[in-house]
Amino acid sequence: MKKFLKMVLAVICGILILNALVIAVFAGLATPGTPAVPAEGVLKIDMSKIVIGEQSRETDPVTMIQSRGQSIQTIGIWEAVSALHIAAQDPGIKYIYLKTDGSTTGLANLSEFRKALQNFRTESSKAVVAYTEAPSTGSYYLASVADKIYMTPHPGANVSITGISSQMFFLGDLLKKLGVNVQLIRHGKYKSAGEMYTRANSSPENREQYQVMINSMWETLSSEIAQSRGISVEKLNEYVDGLRLCLPQDFIDCGMADALLDRKALEDQLAVLAVADKFKDVTMIPFADYVTSKITPGKGARKIAVIYADGSIIDGSQPENVSGDRFASIIEGIREDSTVKAVVLRVNSPGGSVLASEKIKAELDRLQAEKPVVASYGDYAASGGYWISNNCTKIYSDAVTLTGSIGVFGMIPDFSKTASDVLKVGVETVSSNKHGDMFSLTRPFDSAEYNYMLRSIEDIYDRFTTIVSDGRDIPKEQVDAIGQGRVWTGANALEIKLVDEIGTLEDAIAYAAGLAGDSDLANWNIKGYPAPPTIMETMMSSFQGNQEDYSIKALFDKIKEPRTLALLPFEIKILQ
């Protein structure tokens, strides 16, 4: 027996030592230091190797292994835009070479980055040249900012410029087959989050808001593409609807590309633009290296704090997403920091927990009583994301941001038929009071219990419309009319006064600086909160399996307990 225990202990010690060694080796590999950037060259932006996100994050070795060695670095939108400003004034940067294929950047950040590239051209009079082999709607939208668009002449590429679309999935019939009865209580005919679990198709209201949103997003993209290429929006829609953009030559014929160049011809052209005899004499400077080299943490005494509310709003103090207790503590610390003179709340959240949203809002209200707070919206600022931010001094939104969703819903599943009809399990409950087992999930609500839940939902909706009315100075009746859970794009939200201006994170920071008394951003230390996770923290999270789970088990985990949420009902993605 003693020998067996010794063997077990030896194995455990061996595993612990091995894990420690692996972590130590990975940590060593993951800290290469600041890359050396040549003094002169072409700034190369390859969108298949970077993601423009909310905050910069280093790529950890575990992720690299999982992605088969492909290092995809996340660059924060503020750092990316700041680097382009520096490049515009950098005499060593001759021009920008932009490869847009393979982009996975969200649409709002893609739009902000595109504006920054346009500003680079204006500020510097330097060229941006783009190259594409398999353009999609999103990647071509980014490429269209360039002075010249070059495209491969080779056939066979997967061209997919067909507009914007989004898919909705409905599990109502599947759950019924499994005996699950999801009881949905909501306020807002457009608050469609729970429909996924209760219906086999969308409600007319849900379908309506989807169509309006998609149309608004395409209107933004198509107008910017058409303007850059010198064609009308009507002509662009004719090309897209008529499936005219299929072969490389089609892009030339339709004025959507400037030349077809194979690899050698492209290299020759890049050399000519760099005033070099041969392509091998052209120095390419990777954008990620340039950002790391040029963007350093601010050291000034006066700070503008940028709070990144990035992710779902959840209860507790977990490091993932926007956890209520953690963010309340962070905001309190910023309020008490005398070196912070102004704050930008950067929201990229579909919402979530009502309780957590209220905790965060309470701290933001205290913060705003002492310091100016300006909001900037990313891809999403809806439901809970709008709840926490609508009272800011000014709200900047991208035209394609999804916002609003002023509504609330509750989901309470009933597994009684699953137990009896599917699993053949008998369930018997003994309660002290009449409704003691109403949250047991083993029987449906009676009318009194449904009304009990509805009372809570109505109270939360009244609270939501009240804070929006107060925060936006809009009559409550008007808030209710544009509320009802409906989601709006930033462009539409501007028309109904849910946001103040279509603008970028940079615009919001500049405005906050002005409110603090000095509009020159060079005089400010722009500091992000919370700090992005370190490589070690990301690695440990990967080892622990803290990743999105799309299994059937995960589906049941989402609906297995009673919940009241202010949450966006879906994600809109450009299908590529």
Percent of the chain with pLDDT over 70: 85
Domain identity same for 283 and 392: no
- Partners of residue 41 on adjacent β-strands: 93
Structural domain contains residue 309: yes
What CATH number is given to the structural domain containing 391?
Answer: 3.90.226.10
Q: Indicate the number of domains in the chain.
A: 2
pLDDT in tens, 372-405: 999 999 999 999 999 999 999 999 999 999 999 9
Domain boundary among 294, 324, 359: 294
**Chain-centre distance of CA 16, in angstroms?**
37
Same domain for 561 and 441, yes or no, is yes
Asked whether residue 526 is assigned to any structural domain, the reply reads yes
Asked if 382 and 498 touch (Cβ cutoff 8 Å), the reply is no
Q: Which of 275, 294, 313 is the last residue of a domain?
A: 294
User: Of all residues in the chain, what percent carry a pLDDT higher than 90?
Assistant: 66
Query: Which tens digits make up the pLDDT trace of 308-324?
Result: 999 999 999 988 899 99
Residue 15 lies in a domain: no
Question: In sequence order, which residues have a C-beta less than 8 Å from that of residue 91 and are 6 or more positions away?
Answer: none
Q: Would you say residue 150 has pLDDT above 80?
A: yes
Name the nearest CA neighbour of 189 among 203, 201, 169, 171. Answer: 203
- For residue 25, being part of any structural domain is answered with no
Q: What is the mean pLDDT of the chain?
A: 87
Q: Which of 191, 303, 341, 359 is catalytic?
A: 191
Are residues 280 and 374 part of one domain?
no
Mean pLDDT of 85-102: 97
| Per-residue model confidence (pLDDT) at position 63 | 47
Q: Does residue 101 fall inside a structural domain?
A: yes
CB atoms within 10 A of CB 318: 13
Residue 234 inside a domain? The answer is: no
Can you list the alpha helix ranges (DSSP code H) found in 337-442?
354-368, 384-387, 416-417
Catalytic residue among 383, 389, 397, 469: 383
Same domain, 372 and 518: yes
278 is catalytic: no
359 is catalytic: no
Same domain for 424 and 405? Answer: yes
CA-angle at 465, arms to 359 and 315, nearest 5°: 25
- Same structural domain, 532 and 554: yes
The residue type found at 155 is P
Range of the domain at 350: 303-567
pLDDT tens-digit series, residues 536-571: 655 555 555 444 443 444 444 555 555 566 676 555
The three-class DSSP label of residue 509 is helix
Decide if pLDDT at 191 tops 90.
Answer: no
Per-residue pLDDT band for 91 (boundaries 50, 70, 90) equals: very high
Q: Which helix (H) or strand (E) holds 327?
A: helix 324-336
In a shared domain, residues 154 and 273: yes
